Structure 1
Amino acid sequence: MKFLDQCKLYVAAGHGGDGCVSFRREKYISHGGPDGGDGGAGGSVWAEAVDGLNTLIDYRYQQHFKAERGGHGMGRNRTGADAEDIIIKVPVGTQIFEEDQETMIADLSSVGDKVLLADGGNGGWGNVRFKSATNQAPRRFNPGLPGDDRWIWMRLKLIADAGLVGLPNAGKSTFLAASSQAKPKIADYPFTTLVPNLGVVSLGVGSSFVLADIPGLIEGAAEGAGIGTRFLGHVERCSVLLHLIDASQDDPDQAYETVRNELVEYGADLENKVEIVALNKSDTLDQDIIEEQAAKLEKACGKKPYIISGATGDNVKEVLGQLFEEVNTQKQSEAEEAAAEQARDAGEEQQGWTP
């Protein structure tokens, strides 16, 4: 399945059906009076986050969604049928923007989240609605109201607990393959990863989290160089970042600073997320050189880096355990904040209630 994380759609709700002008005409019944029914409501267009999707590729091939018009009113007080709504199913984590790509309409971050994109028009009144003592044979009706229509942008930000960042060819895909059942493309050249990959890391019963690997960053990515900056949005929701550094390069400290600068330039508070630093590909160097590289990296990042090898699995479990601990801590903190806010709201409601 191809990956697509951004698309533009045109959505149009259905117009309401027209009201009807009709008069009762039956044998042996004189002065039957008006009996024109109302028109039905036009269909609306909704977007709903569903489970089991992780790409917007379906909307590369269909960009227009138009709901049907409501049925027209008919004689004998028959109301036109309401048109069916259209539901656009999107992955969890999809953000919906206006055509300017800046004004957010909704952020569908949970399964079942739903938002109205275009409201169907109301049906028009039939002439029975205009009957009165002074106008017993009205020939007036209302046309159905037009439905809404608009262009929207949908942008996907994958829901992951932890994210992998680093320069191209730092071994991120190898690490993801070694720690989960994901099978990303792995090769000995930069920019092997062209789209984000997700993997579920399992450390035992009840101990699992989702790890996201995004394409490598290069210097100037925030200004559009390379491809990684386009996908940085996928780690905005992560609780913790794992920063992988290739141990075989000459300046691991410079590599660290390059990626950190791009995170700062990108914004979205990425530079303030919890970060775990690891020196990867330790199996390719002697122990003395590894220690020298680790010392350089520690001086740059201010913390002792893990020394790992995604290819051989050295110290991978230790890093995964640290990631899980940070993810779990973040989830507990969010749960406590949500409980405190709920208790505070309940207290305010109780304080404002008077018997």
Structure 2
Amino acid sequence: MIDTVEIVVQAGNGGDGFLSFRREKFVARGGPEGGDGGAGGSVYLIATSNENTLQHLMYKRRYKAGHGTAGKRSNKHGRNGSDVEIRVPVGTVISQAGGFPQPDSSIDMAEVGMRVLIARGGDGGRGNARFVSSTNQEPLLREAGERGDVRQLALEVKVLADVGVIGAPNAGKSSFVAKVTSARPKIAAYPFTTLEPVLGVVENRRSTFVIAEIPGLIGGAHRGVGLGHAFLRHAARTLIFLHLLDGNGVDPIEDFKQVNQELKLYSPELADRPQLVVINKIDLPEVRARIPEFTEELKDLGVDLLAMAAATGEGIQGVLDKVSGVIAPMGG
């Protein structure tokens, strides 16, 4: 998944104003008639649900709007330059980069259809007809067109979802997402099968919510180790976490602690986000036998434990009902 890219956007320059005087056979002093230049085109970013990544921007990094044309005689204005619209996924965050003045804050393209002006076209220059006054009936003045804005922008996509499915590598996140949505993530019995977030829509009884499978997390993720920074950027855009534990792993409780430690080191706010903790793979007898043990250990940490088997579907309905109940008051 291409989730960061830098582009350069250049708005069009305004056209120059025109210097002209009306000259007709029977009109000795016809007066100024120079028209205004056209405005330069502007550059806009539009949030769309038709794009999921920034892949389409990788092969074209510079975008130029059209220049306005110069004014003409007979008070005719120049044509305006054409605008450029760049479509980006919902959830794209825009900031300035590389050598240009930094804005006070970034822009979050959080809603479908959101349209943001990111480079304004220059105004057209005024023709001499605009400079007539009581003391100057034949002005020899005209204006050059204004230059359009140039911006170097950093774009970053962050997943927008109600529920972020997190956990150590190989905890069964992909199997769970595939079971409860129409999304079809790659599934295999080795860590890091999922290398990018996977979105899916869950329809549970009377509620509907979006879940995002977030790539597996290892120690040092807050420093970018493994898939760390990508994981944490996307995790920041969810309402709650559904934290899956690999019941057949070496130490599921230690995995739980490590994932939460990475969240805390990256952002204390993430560590405080609501979590539902689920032990997975209870279809295996050795895992089912340890449910009381896992429940007690997590209870000591102030955490309630749910249990399910993503492979067979056992317990999944209870997990979905619990998720629906938690996110409903949050507007999810």
- TM tier relative to shorter chain: over 0.9
Deviation at residue 288 of structure 1 after TM alignment:
6.1
Q: Indicate yes or no: 2:149 matched with 1:148.
A: yes
Q: Which residue of 1 aligns with 2:28?
A: 30
Letter aligned with residue 230 of structure 1: A
Q: Which residue of 1 aligns with 2:186?
A: 185
Q: Per-residue CA shift, 1:81-128, capped at 9, x if unaligned? A: 111221211121111111169953311211222221111111101111
Q: Per-residue CA shift, 1:316-352, capped at 9, x if unaligned? A: 11101111111112118xxxxxxxxxxxxxxxxxxxx
Q: Is the 8 A contact 1:308 1:314 kept in 2?
A: yes
Deviation at residue 198 of structure 1 after TM alignment:
0.4
| CA–CA distance in structure 2, aligned partners of residues 315 and 224 of structure 1 | 34
SS of 1:240's equivalent in the other structure is: strand
| CA–CA distance in structure 1, aligned partners of residues 68 and 234 of structure 2 | 40
Letter aligned with residue 88 of structure 1: I
Q: Indicate yes or no: 2:302 matched with 1:302.
A: yes
| CA–CA distance in structure 2, aligned partners of residues 308 and 42 of structure 1 | 60
TM alignment of 1:193-208, pairs within 5 A: 193-204=194-205, 206-208=206-208
Q: Indicate yes or no: 2:243 matched with 1:272.
A: no
Give the counterpart of 2:71 among 57, 73, 78: 73
Letter aligned with residue 10 of structure 1: V
| CA–CA distance in structure 2, aligned partners of residues 119 and 231 of structure 1 | 35
| CA–CA distance in structure 2, aligned partners of residues 263 and 298 of structure 1 | 18
Q: Which residue of 1 aligns with 2:238?
A: 238
Q: Is the 8 A contact 2:217 2:231 kept in 1?
A: no
Letter aligned with residue 187 of structure 2: I
Deviation at residue 58 of structure 1 after TM alignment:
1.0
| CA–CA distance in structure 1, aligned partners of residues 274 and 3 of structure 2 | 25
Q: Which residue of 1 aligns with 2:324?
A: 324
Q: Is the 8 A contact 2:216 2:231 kept in 1?
A: no
Deviation at residue 143 of structure 1 after TM alignment:
0.3
Give the counterpart of 1:5 among 3, 8, 23: 3
Residue correspondences, number: 329
Q: Indicate yes or no: 2:176 matched with 1:175.
A: yes
Q: Per-residue CA shift, 1:5-24, capped at 9, x if unaligned? A: 11111011111100001111
Q: Which residue of 2 aligns with 1:281?
A: 281
Question: 323-332 or 173-182, which moves further after superposition?
Answer: 323-332
SS of 1:161's equivalent in the other structure is: strand
| CA–CA distance in structure 2, aligned partners of residues 146 and 268 of structure 1 | 44
Q: Is the 8 A contact 2:163 2:212 kept in 1?
A: yes
TM alignment of 1:11-22, pairs within 5 A: 11-22=9-20
Q: Is the 8 A contact 1:256 1:301 kept in 2?
A: no
TM-score with structure 2 length normalisation? Answer: 0.94
Q: Which residue of 1 aligns with 2:53?
A: 55
In structure 2, list runs of 5 or more residues that go unmatched. Answer: none
| CA–CA distance in structure 2, aligned partners of residues 246 and 102 of structure 1 | 44
Q: Indicate yes or no: 2:117 matched with 1:111.
A: no
Q: Is the 8 A contact 2:281 2:287 kept in 1?
A: no
Q: Per-residue CA shift, 1:199-244, capped at 9, x if unaligned? A: 111113x411101001100011111210133232222232210111
| CA–CA distance in structure 2, aligned partners of residues 55 and 153 of structure 1 | 14
Q: Which residue of 2 aligns with 1:352?
A: none
Question: 135-144 or 246-255, which moves further after superposition?
Answer: 135-144
SS of 2:7's equivalent in the other structure is: strand
Runs of 4+ aligned residues of structure 1 deviating over 4 Å after TM superposition are 100-103
Identity %, equivalent residues:
42
Question: 144-153 or 83-92, which moves further after superposition?
Answer: 83-92
Higher helix share: 1
| CA–CA distance in structure 1, aligned partners of residues 268 and 95 of structure 2 | 17
Q: Is the 8 A contact 2:220 2:228 kept in 1?
A: no
| CA–CA distance in structure 1, aligned partners of residues 103 and 214 of structure 2 | 23
Q: Is the 8 A contact 2:33 2:74 kept in 1?
A: yes
SS of 2:107's equivalent in the other structure is: strand
Deviation at residue 299 of structure 1 after TM alignment:
4.4
Q: Indicate yes or no: 2:311 matched with 1:311.
A: yes
Q: Which residue of 2 aligns with 1:346?
A: none
| CA–CA distance in structure 1, aligned partners of residues 190 and 5 of structure 2 | 30
Structure 1 residues 296, 192: CA separation in 2 closer, same or farther (over 3 Å shift)?
farther
Structure 1 residues 288, 21: CA separation in 2 closer, same or farther (over 3 Å shift)?
closer
| CA–CA distance in structure 1, aligned partners of residues 312 and 58 of structure 2 | 40
Q: Per-residue CA shift, 1:37-63, capped at 9, x if unaligned? A: 010110111112123322221111111
Q: Per-residue CA shift, 1:163-185, capped at 9, x if unaligned? A: 11111111100110011111000
| CA–CA distance in structure 2, aligned partners of residues 75 and 107 of structure 1 | 45
Aligned CA RMSD, in angstroms, stands at 1.9
| CA–CA distance in structure 2, aligned partners of residues 85 and 125 of structure 1 | 21
Q: Is the 8 A contact 2:13 2:148 kept in 1?
A: yes
| CA–CA distance in structure 2, aligned partners of residues 162 and 177 of structure 1 | 15
In structure 1, list runs of 5 or more residues that go unmatched. Answer: 333-355
Q: Is the 8 A contact 1:120 1:146 kept in 2?
A: yes
